[in-house]
Structure 1
Amino acid sequence: MLAYERFGSGEPLVLVHGISHRRQAWYPVAEQLAEHREVILFDLPGHGESPDLVGDGRPVKEILQDHLLELFFELGLERPHIAGNSLGGRIALEAAADGLVSSATGLSPAGFWKGDRDFAYIRAHFAVLMTAARATRPVAPRLAGSGLARKLMLGSLMTHGERLDRDRVVGDLTCMVRARPALKTIMEGAFPFESPIGEGIPVTVAWGSKDRLLLPYQAERARRQLPSAEHVWLEGSGHVPMSDDVAGVVDVLLRGSSHGLRSTIADVGVA
């Protein structure tokens, strides 16, 4: 069974973190969401406190979706709302394409890179992150005591890493190193998102304007591929926007799980 937390009241909203992260990524927005939704956070296999990701010869997409469906079954969830960041956003969109959810929201969802060259950049970015996490882990508790150091350590993922406390940053680094085998398996099985999503399932895609991992040009590719979805910019946010813009992310998630996005958030075009 995957490690999970469940709290709040209202329509169930399942939140899926990104690759090499953990469920605590949602903590900055979880309390406000729980005032309006029953929030379900969980660790993907091979991440956080969940069991290892075990390959069995099937596509990684199928393995991850089976784990998601087992979680739905164990918790008695029938077509819940779902939202995710990065890989979690891709999982959310795939769940919508397969008709498993009532709505899907992706925050910088994976799968909209241009080709092999762009995907090589993503792989290289994670390789650098993983190397840095392993190298700094022995001194992370001391380094993370400084807000400036936290900002620099997390600068490729978010614009305001200093808003996370020391224990969160140290825990995230530890879990990133632990997720290395899962990262390798998922990267080896990656492919662009091309699944059609039925008109009956509302979809929202939000992108951080300062995303340094899945560069913002991918937001325009997502617009073209998902023309019926609502597309939103999170101005000034990085790839993991939950700490960068708490109010904006909460708004997107609540409206996205209210059968479509009806928001006053400025929806500006990609330059």
Structure 2
Amino acid sequence: MLAYERFGAGEPLVLVHGISHRRQAWYPVAERLAEQREVILFDLPGHGESPELVTDGRSVKDVLQDELIALFAELDLDSPHIAGNSLGGRIALEAAADGLVSSATGLSPAGFWKGDLDFLYIRAHFAALQTSARMAMPAAPTLARSAFARKVLLGSLMTHGDRVDAEHFLGDLHCMVAARPALRRIIREGVPFDSDIAADIPVTIAWGTKDRVLMPYQGRRARKQMPEAEHVWLDGSGHVPMSDDVDGVVDVLLRGSSHGLRATVADVA
């Protein structure tokens, strides 16, 4: 069984973290969301406190879908709202395509890169993050006490890494290193998102204008590929925007899980 937390009141909203992260990624926004939603956080297989990712010859996509369905059944969730970041955003969109949810919101969802060369950059980025995390481990307790060090080490993921407290930073660092086997398996099967989502399932896609992992042009590609979705820019936010823009992310998630945003947001120049 996947590790999870469940709290708050209102319509259920399942939040899915990104690759090599953990459910605590949502902590900066979770309490605010819980004032209006029943919030469900969980660790993906091979991440955080969940069991390792075991495929047994199946595709990663099928395994993650089955795990999500099993979680919904365990928690007695019938078509909840779902939102995710990065890989979690891709999982949210796939859940919508499979008709498992009432709405889907993706924060910089994976799957909108241009081609193989573009995907190579993404793979290299995560390889560099893994190397940096492993190298930082011996000095991690000291580094964690420095807001400047946290900002630098988290700089490719968020613009305000200094807002992540020392304990959370250490937990994230340990999780990133421990998630290496799952990351390698998931990355190995990375393919563009090309599933169709029924028109009666509202979809929202938000992108940080300073995303350095899945570059903002991918947000523009998502807009062209999914013109029926609502598209939002999170000004000044990085790839993991929950600490960068608490108010903006809370607004997007609440409105996205209220059957879609209705505001028109211009493209980034």
Q: State TM-score, norm by structure 1.
A: 0.98
Q: Which residue of 1 aligns with 2:51?
A: 51
- What does residue range 162-177 of structure 1 map to in structure 2 within 5 Å? 162-177=162-177
CA distance in 1, matches of 2:265, 2:18: 24
CA distance in 2, matches of 1:207, 1:268: 12
Q: Which residue of 1 aligns with 2:78?
A: 78
Match of 1:267 among 260, 265, 268: 265
SS of residue in 2 equivalent to 1:13: strand
- AA paired with 2:152? L
- Does the CA contact (< 8 Å) of 2:44 and 2:50 recur in 1? yes
Q: Which residue of 1 aligns with 2:255?
A: 255
SS of residue in 1 equivalent to 2:41: strand
| Structure 1: tracts of 5 or more residues without a match | none
Superposed CA RMSD in Å reads: 0.7
Q: Which residue of 1 aligns with 2:91?
A: 91
Q: Which residue of 1 aligns with 2:62?
A: 62
1:212 aligns with 2:212: yes
Q: Which residue of 2 aligns with 1:125?
A: 125
Q: Which residue of 2 aligns with 1:32?
A: 32
- AA paired with 1:62? D
Q: Which residue of 1 aligns with 2:151?
A: 151
SS of residue in 2 equivalent to 1:194: coil
- AA paired with 1:211? D
| Structure 2: tracts of 5 or more residues without a match | none
- AA paired with 1:177? V
CA distance in 1, matches of 2:268, 2:221: 10
- AA paired with 2:42? F
Q: Which residue of 1 aligns with 2:5?
A: 5
CA distance in 2, matches of 1:251, 1:151: 25
CA distance in 2, matches of 1:250, 1:7: 16
CA distance in 2, matches of 1:178, 1:269: 37
- Does the CA contact (< 8 Å) of 2:209 and 2:268 recur in 1? no
Q: State TM-score, norm by structure 2.
A: 0.99
Q: Which residue of 2 aligns with 1:197?
A: 197
Q: Which residue of 1 aligns with 2:16?
A: 16
SS of residue in 2 equivalent to 1:138: helix
